[in-house]
Structure 1
Amino acid sequence: MSRRRLFCVSALLATLAAVAPGHARETVPFKDDGLRPGTIVVKTKERKLYLLVGDGKAIRYPVAVGRRGKQWNGAVRIDAKYVEPAWSPPEEVRRDNPKLPDVIPGGTPENPMGARAMTLSGGGQYAIHGTNAPKSIGTFASYGCVRMHNDDIIDLYARVRVGTAVVMDP
């Protein structure tokens, strides 16, 4: 093996080792409490999203969730899926940030929706989406949406479809 290739492999292994358990997507045991495989469960206190895969297992993803006063719970469904969506700030966000434009085009670094978004039913303006602020993952940061690393939302997006059940658990 060439010295350069060995260095690249070593650097990759060091990078992978630096990701602490619980901070990367992983398959974990999960007590499903009668929920069907394919259901998404967001545990707000843990700041984790679980995709139930059956046999008492789930894929766990780190997420950012609603900040104090912006959290919610209940059962909804994914009602639409978008690739690099444009974003129009909801009125509440616009009140707090009046200088925001009416629309931020999809795929731009300023767009807070990231690489993918899946909107949730229930009349609200909530979604599970990527982020342009990866340091927010693992925190209470949003106005009620669930933020994911862009590589994680791309993975989840490919695994679920419109109509997938989503349970927000405080």
Structure 2
Amino acid sequence: MVKRLLVLLVAFSFCLVHASTAFAAATIIIDKSTNKLHYYQDEVLLKTFPVATGKSPSLTPEGNFTVVIKLVNPYYARGGIAGGSPQNPLGYRWLGLSVGGGGIYGIHGTNNPASIGTYASAGCIRMYNQDVNWLFDHTPLGTPVQIIRSGATRVPTPPKPKPLPVTVALGGKNIDIKVPVGTSPDGSPLLPLRPIFEALDYAIGWDDASHTIHITKGNEYINVACTSGRVTTRQSVFVCPELKLAQGAAHAPISFWQRVLPKTQINWDAGQRRVTFNEKTIMEKPFPGTSAPGEAVLQTP
């Protein structure tokens, strides 16, 4: 159902995002011809759910998208209905898709279970509330979602380029990544958290209950919520939608590293396939009446 969640970002601040138990590669395929949602893990079909899609074929977009935001008890802006209300047509869970920025098209619950299996929405994908609860808990941010009509030509998935090795240089230490798990839109690789933080002398721990990575060094701390992508440091709080869980480990884009390590200069050399971490040099300003190297001090009468 197409709906502009005008307060989506505000709602995000107040909604609890549940932890996910899915660390394997998840994929969702929604077939508008059958109104079925198929959930795959590691290319194996795990679950199939009935859904409702757009009242007309053009309302629910077709193509390849990703899950970019997850909300518990989303606020329904069009009707001014609070999250968690039994009258809320979004139900109790929202998985926002990249088409429309996460707040226009989504997979969500419903207050009208009789509509499931029919063409009833204004563009979104409706599910039974118990079904979307399961999907929410097993779908990390970044999960690919393909929407197709099996009676029409299948939307082709672009071929994945063969990953090339990457070297991470941290002072005198090198970490060789033979097969990166993914790339950012600019082509830079996603980098594994544990070996890099450990090479930088950070302690790294795991909270299984909240699926959060805790990283510490002295009075510095970095907390990474693996389901929501929410990152908390001493300096800032932000969401990293490109955070990826693969092979039992978390991987993050270079933009993540630049934000959590503000005192470190991080550069990506695409030609050399090399990421360098160097401590930033802080230039001290000269005291009044003194000069920096190569400068003259002018004394005025």
What TM-score do the two structures reach when normalised by structure 2? 0.39
CA distance in 1, matches of 2:141, 2:44: 23
Larger Rg, first or second structure (1 or 2): 2
Partner of 1:117: 94
Please show how residues 31-110 of structure 1 align to structure 2 within 5 Å.
Answer: 37-54=25-42, 56-68=44-56, 69-89=58-78, 101=79, 103-110=80-87
**Is the Cα–Cα contact under 8 Å of residues 53 and 59 in structure 1 kept in the other structure?**
no
**Is the Cα–Cα contact under 8 Å of residues 42 and 50 in structure 1 kept in the other structure?**
yes
Residue identity opposite 1:87 in structure 2: Y
Runs of at least 5 residues in structure 1 that lack an aligned partner in the other structure:
1-35, 90-100
Deviation beyond 3 Å, 4+ runs, structure 1: none
Between the two structures, name the one with larger relative contact order (CA 8 Å, sep ≥ 6). Answer: 1
CA distance in 2, matches of 1:128, 1:144: 10
Higher helix share: 1
Query: Alpha-carbon deviation of 1:51?
Result: 0.6
Residue identity opposite 2:89 in structure 1: P
Runs of at least 5 residues in structure 2 that lack an aligned partner in the other structure:
1-23, 150-301
Per-residue displacement from partner, 1:2-42 (whole Å, max 9, x unpaired)?
xxxxxxxxxxxxxxxxxxxxxxxxxxxxxxxxxx9411000
SS where residue 39 of structure 1 aligns? strand
Identity over aligned pairs, percent: 38
SS where residue 79 of structure 1 aligns? strand
Query: Alpha-carbon deviation of 1:162?
Result: 1.0
- Which residue, 153, 159, 163 being the options, matches 2:138? 159
- Which residue, 148, 151, 155 being the options, matches 2:127? 148
CA distance in 2, matches of 1:45, 1:51: 16
**Is the Cα–Cα contact under 8 Å of residues 74 and 168 in structure 1 kept in the other structure?**
yes
CA distance in 2, matches of 1:146, 1:113: 10
Per-residue displacement from partner, 1:117-156 (whole Å, max 9, x unpaired)?
1111122610100000000000001011000000000000
What TM-score do the two structures reach when normalised by structure 1? 0.68
